[in-house]
Amino acid sequence: MTIAAQMRKIAQDAKAASRRLASAEGSVRQQALLNMAELLGQSGPAIFAANKKDLDAAQKNGLDSAKLDRLTISQGVLDSMIQGCREVAAMSDPVGEIEGMKKRPNGMLVGRMRVPLGVVAMIFESRPNAAVDAAVLCIKSGNAAILRGGSEAFHSIKALTKIVHQALEDAGLPKGCVQVPPTTDREAVSALLKLDEYIDVVIPRGGEGLIRAVVEQASMPVLKHYKGVCHTFVDASADLERAVLIIHNAKVQRPGTCNSLECLLVHQAVAKKFLPKVAKKLGEAGVAIRCCKASLPLMGKTAKAAVKTDWGTEFLGLVLAMKVVADLDEALDHIAQYGSNHTEAILTESHANAMRFTREADASMVAVNASTRLNDGGELGLGAEVGISTTKLHAYGPMGIRELTSAKFVVLGQGQIRQ
């Protein structure tokens, strides 16, 4: 069989399995997740052995330590997978709920029933446990999943998928509910991305290059964000002591993530007072600052002048661009020009400015007096998340179980016809 034919078979099996999953009771899907938790708990040795194969090969291929770290399944990573299964299993079943049932003038009832999307393809890099996280959320929401991880995690994902299959079968569900292409050939991804007849949505997670390649090729809708170029605007009325702590958290707590701060905008009225404070705190953390002309003299001798490309750049490390602005208008203009619709924050004591910023800053999360790092499914109360969307269609922001469903119209009539 050619790779294209193999992928078509996988997609067809997924479509068939998705019908079974969508009509299965929530208790059956829940049981599959509890089985998975149980089996993962018993399978540590097999999982670690498979993971070691991947790690050995990766070391041979000279993967850097950050990537090796993400590839590693430690006992802690395994435990958190198990906990994830149990937590999602305990959530209420989103499938089949009917919202807002109302009576129309002709007497028929009209409501909207939550339904699974159908078949979800996930294309991701590095972390093999992402396969389990995705499988768990898809099963819970009644979707069949096709999971395509990085080739460097091949053996780990294979071992994890074996467990997922066992858990499904023990719950009476077909293995087709969760499938992993048996090849690491890139052609497999290209073939999958043409199968919009069977696959309802694709969710890529990884670097901007991966995501652009998926968007370029996909014939079905893609839920994604390219990057997070997040700003924080320190307004004239901001509580400056608190601002230092928020900005430190947003930049330093985990600088490699998409919701970390990349550019600080400071109102001119407080620049002189605020910049030395923040310079000290960020300097201690080893943050390199790229300053606009107005801020450069205020930021100490380690600061460098920004170049044009620093605006709108996702540094993914301990680098921060910094700009003094005349007012909220200039801050909003800067964000409109350079932001990535991911996360924007304002630090202010002015109610009017807070309300205007939340309305006019165009981002999947807008925050008042809080760290950009809080744009996360868990922090915002969604439970587990399957990624963050910065396109406004279908989902804007972190995507949880609900974002893996749609809603169809249900009409309950007594003979109504169109007049």
**What residue ranges bind a second copy (CB under 8 A)?**
19, 22-23, 96, 102, 104, 108, 110, 113, 115, 117-118, 200-201, 215, 219, 221, 223, 239, 242, 245-246, 249-250, 253-254, 336, 354, 358-360, 362-371, 373-376, 379-381, 391-394, 396-398, 406-418
CB of 348 to a second copy, least distance (A): 11
CB of 23 to a second copy, least distance (A): 5
SS3 267: strand
d(C-alpha 348, C-alpha 239), whole Å: 7
Closer to a second copy by Cβ: residue 26 or 44:
26
CB of 361 to a second copy, least distance (A): 9
CB of 108 to a second copy, least distance (A): 6
Closer to a second copy by Cβ: residue 73 or 265:
265
Q: To the nearest 10°, report the CA torsion of 204, 207, 208, 213.
A: -50
CB of 337 to a second copy, least distance (A): 11
The gap from C-alpha 204 to its chain's centroid, in whole angstroms, comes to: 9
Closer to a second copy by Cβ: residue 150 or 398:
398
Instruction: Note whether 18 and 119 are within 8 A (CB).
Output: yes
Angle at 418 between CA 412 and CA 419, to 5 degrees: 135
Q: Which of 200, 187, 195, 197 is nearest to 143 (CA)?
A: 200
Angle at 193 between CA 229 and CA 172, to 5 degrees: 105
CB of 301 to a second copy, least distance (A): 28
CB of 300 to a second copy, least distance (A): 24
Closer to a second copy by Cβ: residue 51 or 389:
389
Pairing mode, strands 304-305 and 230-234: unpaired
CB of 394 to a second copy, least distance (A): 4
Closer to a second copy by Cβ: residue 46 or 101:
101
Instruction: Note whether 7 and 195 are within 8 A (CB).
Output: yes
Closer to a second copy by Cβ: residue 96 or 174:
96
Q: Which of 257, 264, 313, 329 is nearest to 291 (CA)?
A: 264
How far from 44 is each of 39, 79, 113, CA to CA, in Å? 9, 10, 40
- DSSP per residue, 175-197: GGGEE--S---HHHHHHHTT-TT
Closer to a second copy by Cβ: residue 293 or 392:
392
CB of 142 to a second copy, least distance (A): 11
Closer to a second copy by Cβ: residue 159 or 399:
399
* Joined tokens for residue 250: 């947003």
In terms of Cβ atoms closer than 10 Å to its own Cβ (0-12, 13-18, 19+), residue 216 is exposed
SS3 5: helix
> Can you state the angle between helices 351-360 and 328-338, rounded to 10 degrees?
20
Instruction: Note whether 316 and 262 are within 8 A (CB).
Output: no
Instruction: Note whether 332 and 315 are within 8 A (CB).
Output: no
CB of 410 to a second copy, least distance (A): 5
Closer to a second copy by Cβ: residue 76 or 409:
409
Closer to a second copy by Cβ: residue 116 or 149:
116
